[in-house]
Structure 1
Amino acid sequence: MTQYTPMMTHYLQLKEKYRDALVFYRLGDFYEMFFEDAKIASHELDLVLTGRNAGAEERVPMCGVPYHAVTGYIQRLINKGYKVAIVEQLEDPSQATGLVKRDVVRVVTPGTIMEELLDEKSSVFLASLVDYGYGYALAICETTTGETKLASIKHDVPTLIQTLISNDIKEVVVNSNFNSKAIKSLDNSYFFTVSVCDESSIKDEYKYLCEEIENVHLLEAIGKLINYLEITQKRSMSHLRKFKETNEEDFLKMDYATITNLELVQPSRTANKSITLWSFLDKTRSALGSRTLKKWVSKPLRNEKLLNQRLDFIDYLNTNFLKREQLKESLSELYDLERIVARVAYGSANPKDCIRLKKSLEVAPNIYSILKDSKIYPEYDNLDLCESIYDLLSRSLNEDVPVYVNDGGVFKDGYNTELDHYREIQRNGQNWLATLEQKEKEKTGIKTLKIGYNRVMGYYIEISKGALSQIKEEWGYQRKQTLTTGERFITDELKEQENILLHAQEKAIKLENELFVDLIAKIKTKLASMQQLAIALGIADANYALAVISSNHGYVRPQFSNEGIMDVKNGRHPILDSFKDMKYVANDIYMDNNITTLIITGPNMGGKSTYMRQCLLIAIMAQIGCYVPAKSAILPIFDQIFTRIGSTDDILSGQSTFMVEMLEANNALQNATKDSLIVFDEIGRGTSTYDGMALAQAMLEYIDAAIGAKTLFSTHYHELTALENNMERVRNKNVEVHEEDQQITFLYKVKDGKADRSYGVHVASLAKIPESVIERSKELLKGFEQSKKHRNDQSQIIVMEKIPSHIKEIEDIIKKVDPNNITPIEALQLIALMKNKTEGKKE
């Protein structure tokens, strides 16, 4: 058996406990990695791999990073899905006897990332997941703010993925025996880090967090989450907010394709710093408000009352311009109250944080009064503004405090009499030193003599090289240090005064540390109140941003229809319309329960995709609670949005364009309802013409007959436009083109009717395809078009018979059945009910 040195043995003991993490082991000014961890870190971080003698026959692989630059290295590893266990020295090496005491102080994971690694406007959520056979229970938290959520969803992996994405989850904690197929979907396909924790009991100190929760599966998820946080964070989780069960049905559901393709909160994989809807709408004045707005964009609402609440506040701000400007001014002075409060709870707050907390509490009443005066958010009418904490901080802290308490000068004079006494000694000592310096200059006649101080030498008398010959023995100067420019001396009198000053300074710093711990303890008594206040301030700021964007761009308040009407006049794409050098062409859209499908044809580059994205973004903005870019807008409140836009192969999951297209289409066909919005952009491109056309038509027919969802369907299969003649709820739209002297101009105007040509050859010409290829294409196209005249292609369209209504009703009944929770008698009753449906009998 290999015998390692005591240090290496200790490292291996820690590594055994944290096998799934890279261990950063603190040695002096470096964090070192050994063995396989060193090889991984060397490869991932481009570090030089060296070796270390550790008692083994061969040198142990090793690499390291400087302690002062460790944050950047950890971030790179976390971004690649690794976890990092940080081992710190727990005692001063110079004071240690034997092996320096070290231990893991924190495990950084993708879901518990250190705040200093995060952009202030970003959030990172961690979720624990419980599979109880016929559903999933989720407990979610954001460690840097303490925000918590709960969700119960059906036992369906696509729904699980959709929930995780919409909640911005970066890491999922599961049992060691969790379903392997689901884990593979999470870990490989959608870039979540999956971690394991089997402990789910809830300690007494955390039971208050879930006192309102009765569901045993949610309680198990909460327990798993808290235990995982304790294991990785090594500190109290007292900043977590109380868990409350939320209904996912209160929010608009959007699948992964929709969130990604529309670039709602982050650019798509192929984009490079492109504008997202969130970044476009983000006129907030604080990081707190920006994160609140991001949540709104990620999870639009379905609750009309809450939507109108946000819209009413936008209206209130834009009709009370002075109030809006006052709100802007106060929000601009607001610090990140949410994260400051979390740092206080974590025990990592510093004096600067406390000053920022004080300044935030100082402006909070101004912001709150505008929120309260609007009478739009009655749930925040009786907020605790934490005046007692503001008064405490005002009385205790100096304005210009250091970051670290050990630097001194944190507390005001007069706050503590003992501290005042030590400071008086130091002030008198400084006066004494100035007097001594002047006295020594007069005694020695050396005008360049000076008294200085550093942490290594203490206090000293410094004499330049040219004056050294003037020193007399009776002065009692004791040589301490030789410099190139002179020498430094001490005297018994100076040494005695140094002891007095340093003792007072040491006592003052120790007392300031004690006072700061006491101050933090007092602030902690108002944690819950400050967290609630932060939520309200974030709402005010997010609403302010929507008010500004609505006002600046001439947006209109959307009206919501319960009759399924979607009637947008002069709608515009919000982002493209904002570009000053672009003259955007506005377009209408009208759909209702009698017109549910629009088949959109027209030339490539003619604006079909932009038109559909415009319609999608207007619908989403309305359900965020924002005014929309249009002359007028009446919209239904959609329950789900499904899209298939774009044609990029999913290389990372090994799926072709066509396979991805079919999977995304299937998700819509399986889960959409009559209250959903489906947008398919040229379905069927990745296969043969007739295969693609057949699939496209079959999907259109199924959506019309079995689902009834509002559908925008762009296509290059012009034959599909004949469906308008056979399907009552289908209408044709085309993108207008002006053609003159064999030159075309895209007008980007959507009008009724079908397009007769695609103008693909013209687009190829715009792309600078060689002229010989263009001319040959025209010849071939002319031949194809002449051949087509001999066929009546439209007569080949075979329209599926409408699915009888009772089949749809039976399908809906079956979808609601939970096979794990149905008794034999209930099953018999269900069969009888479905039999009656087929025979046309009433229930």
Structure 2
Amino acid sequence: MSTNTSRPHTRPETVDHNPSEQLGSWIVAVTESRGVGREVGIVGLEFEFGQVVLSQLADSQTYAKTIHWLRQRPPSNLLLVAPASPHALTILHTTLKHLFPTVPLTVLPRASFASEKGYNLLQEFCSPGPQSDATLAEVRQKYYALGAASAVIDWIHKRFIQTGKSHWEKHSLNVKWLSVEGCMLIDRNTALDLELINNAVSSKSKQSLFGLLNHTYTPMANRLLRSNLLAPPTEIEVIDGRLDAVQELIELEDSFFNLRKSLKLLTQIDLDKLIGGINSTELASNRSSCNSESESHSLTSLPSSSKKKKLETQDPSLAITKKLELLKSLRTILQSLNPIRSALSTCSSELLRLASNIFEDPFLDEISSVLELRVNEDSFLGVQKGSLAKQNVHAYAIKTGVENQLLNVARETYKENLSDAMAMCEALKEEHHLPKLQFIFETRAGFMLQIKKDDLRGTSNDTTDHPDGLPKVFTNIVKKGKTLHFTCLDLKKKNQLIINSYQEICLLSEEVLDGIFEEFKKRVSTFFRLSEAIALLDMLASFAHVASTREYVRPEFTDTLAISDGRHPIKELFDSESDEFVPNDTYANGSCSFQLVTGPNMSGKSIFLRQIVLMVVMAQVGSFCPAKYASFPIFDALLTCLSKNDDIEAGLSTFSSEMKTLSGILSSMAVCRNSLIIIDELGRGTSPLEGVGIAHAFSEEIIKAKSFCFFATHFRVRKITG
């Protein structure tokens, strides 16, 4: 594939020309083939977590799969290939511009989408490990995905240089290959109509499929569940593996409860963000030297002179505080490993054993031992902000015995200066006959003296020239209500010595912490796998929790759709007004794949249709279903026509909106052969005569395609079937 194709250098078309503006978190580059086929490469880069997701797919003329990929998580920035002429935009460009009108869209020269350069960049920044090696081997011949990777990484690199943001180290990005063919296609409107993620009435309500299944503890599992509901897997091995794990957790109650108890400890910890935070931490040596731009090609921030000055004059404890917070979260995760290992020790399902093997990685114990040997336990405890206790925690964060003699000397100096300052305060109290004199500590100023005005009355002092009766040795007197705050020259000098020794301790301690971070970065791929394992375990445990507290059954996967005593999962759980929930049966197979659902208004046709679809989604994400028996084929697309409203934003009436939806269904049917189609009262937006004709014609197309379809209608069946 040639990478030197000449194209006009078009100025990027974007709404954020100012490089100092905030860079979004989810940046996506899209490129496509220039031939008749629709081969599309998509790469998304999660700026905050340091994750790269690559995909390449064969799409239709309507870009149904590309749109589905992008709508699972709308991008904060879009990068596209510059068209040959600014006045001749490609169909892809026009489509994405219409779908994401508020997203900054930047066009780049085709030279930016160079596949070979993209592969080299991935090799340079991909975290080492077997999983990464497999990903690189997978994408080696995916030229369009590699081209998109080149564009997004190179574009962010330039933005880093201009904005001076934090950086990634080499071999620190988590690179994943996402096969669209292995996921069910669910468009945005279908997800909204079915309330997969959010309730249609209130976004804060938990009355959705996500609210039903989400009993996860960790942020990683929360994101994994959300993405799975929007794109359920279609590989039978993946689904059965999840169902085996859920069933085993239900059967092994002790393991299940111990696992949930262990995961609960990680409620406030986002391991993905933690990995990104550690990867982007600035080394103390780099901050102090503020080296110029490295000659090697790396994503490095270049602070401006003003930022450099700010770094040099800021509170020296800020950097060490941030690093200790990161290590505190890391320590919490590492402490949860043994309980999770114990909970999984009796499990035999393949998926749980694979997850258990990740927790058994010896490097995790090595990092845990390093933390225990080098960092004091007290440094992870919360202390009062700005207090001397906090400063002492930082000063003694690193355990004694670490081979750093300079740090030991700096601590001795710091300790002596503190003792001298306290002794000086006591001496001032005795010398000037001020028994009520108190000394306080402020992080920036050091030790200060204070006394109440009333406590100065009755003291005999011949050396005072202050109206309140303070001796003239005291300076910088500040009145705060009835209290006087002040200092003296000798105390100022001692405070400066304390600050100098403390700054030296912070810098030397940071170097020890940086050594721990460097060990972490060498095996960052282990923590990427650990994050994925925790997320999967938490999600499966959530499924087991729901199934064990409700009368759910494990679904089977056959060529037949059969449900016995099925119940609408959301209505059953949240509709407290109904005293009795009436279950119903459903059946369809290859010889009778098209099913007409009839009945009077308010008889429950719409609820019945949604019940079927929600159970299909639950089954394919690996959850049990609300029924006595459930069997489903594997569907690779969920196509629906459920909304009856007009689309004011698009300028479409109810009828036009229906026709647009039907057109999309027909286009998707050509790409996705194993589709589940749900139609709810088609033709209500026009006259009965025209509605019958449209319903009849569309029904014939579905029957020809042999797709599974449930078609609810208010028309008389004879009029549709002839």
Output the TM-score relative to the length of structure 1. Answer: 0.67
Aligned position for 1:678: 677
Q: Distance in 1 between matches of 2:195 and 2:596?
A: 24
Give the residue type in structure 1 aligned to 2:564: K
> How much does 1:382 deviate?
4.2
Give the residue type in structure 1 aligned to 2:113: S
Aligned position for 1:633: 630
Q: Distance in 2 between matches of 1:242 and 1:485?
A: 59
CA contact (8 A) 1:189 1:652 kept: no
Matched, 1:347 2:281: yes
Aligned position for 1:609: 606
The answer to which structure, 1 or 2, has the higher relative contact order (CA under 8 A, 6+ apart) is 2
Alpha-carbon deviations, 1:355-401, whole Å to 9, x = none?
11111012124324545643412544643252121222223332226
Equivalences for 1:518-557 in 2 at 5 Å? 518-557=515-554
CA contact (8 A) 1:229 1:237 kept: no
In structure 2, the residue corresponding to 1:285 is in which secondary structure? coil
Aligned position for 1:152: 56
Aligned position for 1:127: 28
Moved more, 302-311 or 521-530: 521-530
Give the residue type in structure 2 aligned to 1:347: T
Alpha-carbon deviations, 1:340-361, whole Å to 9, x = none?
0111112276321211111101
Aligned position for 1:328: 260
> How much does 1:205 deviate?
5.6
Moved more, 651-660 or 316-325: 651-660
> How much does 1:676 deviate?
1.6
CA contact (8 A) 2:172 2:521 kept: no
Aligned position for 1:183: 93
Gaps of 5+ in 2: 1-10, 127-134, 283-321, 465-470
Aligned position for 1:470: 460
Matched, 1:367 2:271: no
Q: Distance in 1 between matches of 2:431 and 2:423?
A: 12
Matched, 1:173 2:79: yes
| 1:290 paired residue among 222, 231, 236 | 222
Q: Distance in 2 between matches of 1:618 and 1:444?
A: 83
Q: Distance in 1 between matches of 2:582 and 2:90?
A: 50
Aligned position for 2:659: 662
| 1:391 paired residue among 361, 369, 376 | 369
CA contact (8 A) 2:51 2:173 kept: yes
Q: Distance in 1 between matches of 2:701 and 2:45?
A: 40
Aligned position for 1:447: 435
Aligned position for 1:695: 694
Alpha-carbon deviations, 1:267-304, whole Å to 9, x = none?
45886646331222011121111112122212112111
Aligned position for 2:307: none
> How much does 1:493 deviate?
4.2
Aligned position for 2:20: 85
Matched, 1:479 2:383: no
CA contact (8 A) 1:476 1:491 kept: no
Shift of the 254–346 alpha-carbon distance from structure 1 to 2, 3 Å rule, reads: same
Equivalences for 1:314-325 in 2 at 5 Å? 314-325=246-257
> How much does 1:220 deviate?
0.6
Give the residue type in structure 2 aligned to 1:588: D
Q: Distance in 1 between matches of 2:625 and 2:251?
A: 17
In structure 1, the residue corresponding to 2:685 is in which secondary structure? coil
Alpha-carbon deviations, 1:562-591, whole Å to 9, x = none?
xx2111001011111012443322111011
Matched, 1:232 2:159: yes
> How much does 1:722 deviate?
6.3
> How much does 1:506 deviate?
2.5
Q: Distance in 1 between matches of 2:204 and 2:445?
A: 54
Alpha-carbon deviations, 1:676-725, whole Å to 9, x = none?
21100011111111111110011112211x211111111111144662xx
Moved more, 382-391 or 630-639: 382-391
CA contact (8 A) 1:479 1:488 kept: no
> How much does 1:191 deviate?
5.4
Matched, 1:200 2:113: yes
In structure 1, the residue corresponding to 2:30 is in which secondary structure? strand
Equivalences for 1:783-822 in 2 at 5 Å? 797=722
| 1:136 paired residue among 37, 40, 53 | 40
Q: Distance in 2 between matches of 1:667 and 1:482?
A: 74
Give the residue type in structure 1 aligned to 2:563: V
Equivalences for 1:453-602 in 2 at 5 Å? 453-454=441-442, 458-466=446-454, 467=456, 470-473=460-463, 477-483=473-479, 485=482, 487=484, 490-491=487-488, 493-561=490-558, 564-579=559-574, 580-582=576-578, 583-602=580-599
Q: Distance in 2 between matches of 1:172 and 1:539?
A: 29
In structure 1, the residue corresponding to 2:350 is in which secondary structure? coil
Moved more, 530-539 or 594-603: 594-603
Q: Distance in 1 between matches of 2:59 and 2:14?
A: 31
Gaps of 5+ in 1: 1-15, 24-83, 87-106, 113-124, 724-796, 798-843
Give the residue type in structure 2 aligned to 1:374: S
Aligned position for 1:74: none
Aligned position for 2:393: 409
Aligned position for 1:711: 709
> How much does 1:633 deviate?
0.7
> How much does 1:525 deviate?
1.5
Q: Distance in 2 between matches of 1:683 and 1:715?
A: 7
Give the residue type in structure 1 aligned to 2:107: V
Shift of the 22–332 alpha-carbon distance from structure 1 to 2, 3 Å rule, reads: farther
| 2:331 paired residue among 331, 343, 358 | 358
Moved more, 529-538 or 428-437: 428-437
> How much does 1:551 deviate?
1.1
CA contact (8 A) 1:641 1:676 kept: yes
Q: Distance in 2 between matches of 1:549 and 1:542?
A: 11
Moved more, 185-194 or 358-367: 185-194
Q: Distance in 1 between matches of 2:444 and 2:674?
A: 74
Aligned position for 1:419: 407
> How much does 1:665 deviate?
1.4
Matched, 1:216 2:143: yes
Matched, 1:376 2:350: yes
Shift of the 365–648 alpha-carbon distance from structure 1 to 2, 3 Å rule, reads: farther
In structure 2, the residue corresponding to 1:136 is in which secondary structure? strand
CA contact (8 A) 1:142 1:148 kept: yes
> How much does 1:658 deviate?
1.4
> How much does 1:436 deviate?
3.5
Matched residues, number: 612
Higher strand share goes to which structure?
1
> How much does 1:463 deviate?
4.6
CA contact (8 A) 1:257 1:642 kept: no
Alpha-carbon deviations, 1:717-764, whole Å to 9, x = none?
1144662xxxxxxxxxxxxxxxxxxxxxxxxxxxxxxxxxxxxxxxxx
Shift of the 603–500 alpha-carbon distance from structure 1 to 2, 3 Å rule, reads: same
- What value does the CA root-mean-square deviation take over the aligned residues? 3.1
Shift of the 342–488 alpha-carbon distance from structure 1 to 2, 3 Å rule, reads: closer
Matched, 1:164 2:162: no
CA contact (8 A) 2:555 2:630 kept: yes
Shift of the 370–309 alpha-carbon distance from structure 1 to 2, 3 Å rule, reads: farther
Moved more, 335-344 or 206-215: 206-215
CA contact (8 A) 1:355 1:393 kept: no
> How much does 1:648 deviate?
1.9
In structure 1, the residue corresponding to 2:48 is in which secondary structure? coil
